[in-house]
Structure 1
């Protein structure tokens, strides 16, 4: 069976996360999105584990279920050098034992525990309990593994179970690095709110024998991920090298010459695009035979927002989003499978936008410095971006 999975989210107990991130909100929104299996996030936090226990039924083999969704226990841990690691955990009992053994700086205060343990120590602890572990959003400049290491083996000492790509990278980018050729890639949302323009904005389609931790573990270890879905990397907020204050794109070489300082007073952050070019083996991707396709998607509400030039959370956009869901089906099916004619029957303005996205007939102003990229269906954004790039190449032109 093919199962849509998002294995990295956060609960209401994580910093800068919506108070609405509770099971009773996440589960129905995941169903509307089209996800069947969702990571709980924050599974080392005692209060969150209590909410999971009280809001779900344990159906066996690591799965905690509601009427709308199945959950598997996951957590993100911040280790040495502020690197983030994603761990998939078999049961609540094991999660509690892990929490007791993890030497945490902010124990029980934040859904994402912080520890001084390095990647190898975190992996050893996870493996002691038969967990799956790998780097979270591996290329991002603040907390990704590759910000501090040139090799995944320098971080862990051995091969991780997977590597999470993050919003600013995709398979074509990561498969330029030879050492990753025997490591499965995950694409997850890292959602901080339960709404479908965040939850499942990146997800995996995995072939499972059944919905269970054992089946998920087997699928990841034996390359049964059939597709990765996610944002076009240019839309990621750390894709290009840019200032974190004024968000202007800066040539990476020039940025380093100026000690990553922007004339506006802000700090310039190295983009994922450039970081991968520094450690890449090849200029173009070399995909191993088992690597599944990476399919670029954009959340439906953001497409509607773009078409009508209204905010994603406005009543107008949400009403139109709901009409499409009620008349056609879940969001993933609308974005990937639904006929354009059927979509047009509900919203004739949105149908051409989905068609343009499917056909890659779009323009993107890339993100960087902490600001998401922008998308357009016309050529104006390309002209603006070309002008912006020229002005960004010398710091005198700021």
Structure 2
């Protein structure tokens, strides 16, 4: 069976997350996005584990369900050198035991615990409990594994179970690195709120025997991820080298010559695009035979926001989004499968926006330095006599 899975999100207990990140809200919104399996996030936080136990029904083999939405226990941990790791856990009892064993000063405060343990130590610890582990948003300049290490084996010593790409990278970029050719790639949302333009903005389509922890582990081992879905990487907020204060894009060579200090006095952060070029073995991607397609997405809410020149969380935008989903099914179907003439019957301008997304005619200003990229319509859209607008993706995180 094919399962759409977003395996990295956060709960209301992580810093800078919505208080609405509760199972009762995540489950229905996940289904509307077209997801079947969702990582719980924050599974080393005792209070969140209690909420999971109270809010779900245990189906066995690591799966906790709320209605038709299934959850598997996951957490993100910040380890040595501020490198972030995603861990997938077999059940609540193991999550409690590992949480108790993890050396961390903030695990009762923040859903994303910090520990002095390095990647190799974390791998050894969680593998004792049959967990899976891999680097979170591997290339991002603040907390990605490749931010500090030039090789994944320098971090983990042994081979981890997967590599999460992050919002600022995709398969074409990662497959320029030879050592990653044997790894399963994951594209996950890292969502901090249940808004539909955040939750499920990236996900994976996985061939599984059934929805279970064992089947997920088998899928990674046998590389049966059939597709990765995710944002265009240049919309990611760390895609290009840029200033973290004024967000001006800066040539990486010039940035290094100026000791990574911008003319405005702000700090320049190396972009994912340039970081990958530094460690790449190939100038063009070399995809292994097991590598599935990477399908680029733009959240439907952002497209509607552009059409109406209103915030993505406004009643207008959310109302139209809900109408689209109610009429045509999950958001992924609206974006990719639903005939444009059917969408046009509900909203002709939104139909044009989706057409622009499908035909890749939307304008994109790349993101960097902590600011998401900007998307705007091409000149053709102005023929509808709508006001031209630009919307940023800064509200994503």
> Take 2:97 and 2:83, find their aligned partners in 1: how far apart are those partners?
22
Corresponding residue of 1:393 = none
Corresponding residue of 2:197 = 197
Corresponding residue of 2:335 = 335
Per-residue deviation, 1:235: 0.2
> Take 2:140 and 2:125, find their aligned partners in 1: how far apart are those partners?
24
Could you tell me whether the CA contact under 8 Å between 1:324 and 1:347 is conserved in 2?
A: no
Corresponding residue of 1:395 = none
Unaligned 5+ segments in structure 1 are 381-398
CA RMSD of aligned residues (A): 1.0
Corresponding residue of 2:76 = 76
> Take 1:238 and 1:270, find their aligned partners in 2: how far apart are those partners?
8
Could you tell me whether the CA contact under 8 Å between 2:44 and 2:107 is conserved in 1?
A: no
Corresponding residue of 1:289 = 289
Q: For residues 28-49 of structure 1, what are the alpha-carbon distances to aligned partners after superposition, in whole Å with 9 as ceiling and x for unaligned?
A: 1111111100000000000000
Q: For residues 371-396 of structure 1, what are the alpha-carbon distances to aligned partners after superposition, in whole Å with 9 as ceiling and x for unaligned?
A: 0001122169xxxxxxxxxxxxxxxx
> Take 1:290 and 1:362, find their aligned partners in 2: how far apart are those partners?
31
Indicate the SS of the match to 1:130.
Answer: coil
> Take 2:211 and 2:293, find their aligned partners in 1: how far apart are those partners?
22
> Take 1:376 and 1:341, find their aligned partners in 2: how far apart are those partners?
22
Indicate the SS of the match to 2:348.
Answer: coil
Q: How does 1:15-94 map to 2 (within 5 A)?
A: 15-94=15-94
Could you tell me whether the CA contact under 8 Å between 1:260 and 1:268 is conserved in 2?
A: yes
> Take 2:345 and 2:65, find their aligned partners in 1: how far apart are those partners?
35
> Which TM-score applies when normalising by structure 2?
0.94
Per-residue deviation, 1:166: 0.2
The reply to whether residue 322 of structure 1 matches residue 308 of structure 2 is no
Could you tell me whether the CA contact under 8 Å between 2:243 and 2:369 is conserved in 1?
A: yes
Per-residue deviation, 1:319: 1.1
Indicate the SS of the match to 2:64.
Answer: strand
Could you tell me whether the CA contact under 8 Å between 1:327 and 1:346 is conserved in 2?
A: no
> Take 2:361 and 2:119, find their aligned partners in 1: how far apart are those partners?
41
Corresponding residue of 1:150 = 150
Q: How does 1:211-360 map to 2 (within 5 A)?
A: 211-360=211-360
Corresponding residue of 2:388 = none
The reply to whether residue 167 of structure 1 matches residue 174 of structure 2 is no
The reply to whether residue 119 of structure 1 matches residue 119 of structure 2 is yes
Per-residue deviation, 1:363: 1.8
Indicate the SS of the match to 1:214.
Answer: helix
Corresponding residue of 1:176 = 176
> Take 1:144 and 1:379, find their aligned partners in 2: how far apart are those partners?
37
The reply to whether residue 106 of structure 1 matches residue 106 of structure 2 is yes
Could you tell me whether the CA contact under 8 Å between 1:303 and 1:350 is conserved in 2?
A: yes
Q: For residues 302-341 of structure 1, what are the alpha-carbon distances to aligned partners after superposition, in whole Å with 9 as ceiling and x for unaligned?
A: 1101122211011111111111111111111111221112
Per-residue deviation, 1:7: 0.2
> Take 1:35 and 1:82, find their aligned partners in 2: how far apart are those partners?
30
> Take 1:106 and 1:161, find their aligned partners in 2: how far apart are those partners?
26
Per-residue deviation, 1:348: 1.1
> Take 2:344 and 2:9, find their aligned partners in 1: how far apart are those partners?
32
Corresponding residue of 2:136 = 136
Unaligned 5+ segments in structure 2 are 381-397
Indicate the SS of the match to 2:35.
Answer: coil
Could you tell me whether the CA contact under 8 Å between 2:229 and 2:297 is conserved in 1?
A: yes
> Take 2:189 and 2:301, find their aligned partners in 1: how far apart are those partners?
15
> Take 1:101 and 1:162, find their aligned partners in 2: how far apart are those partners?
24
How many residues get paired?
A: 380
Corresponding residue of 1:391 = none
Could you tell me whether the CA contact under 8 Å between 1:343 and 1:351 is conserved in 2?
A: yes
Could you tell me whether the CA contact under 8 Å between 2:305 and 2:317 is conserved in 1?
A: yes
Indicate the SS of the match to 1:349.
Answer: helix
Could you tell me whether the CA contact under 8 Å between 1:23 and 1:52 is conserved in 2?
A: yes
Corresponding residue of 1:367 = 367
Could you tell me whether the CA contact under 8 Å between 1:363 and 1:379 is conserved in 2?
A: no
Could you tell me whether the CA contact under 8 Å between 1:240 and 1:271 is conserved in 2?
A: yes
Could you tell me whether the CA contact under 8 Å between 2:361 and 2:378 is conserved in 1?
A: no
Indicate the SS of the match to 1:81.
Answer: helix
Could you tell me whether the CA contact under 8 Å between 1:187 and 1:230 is conserved in 2?
A: yes
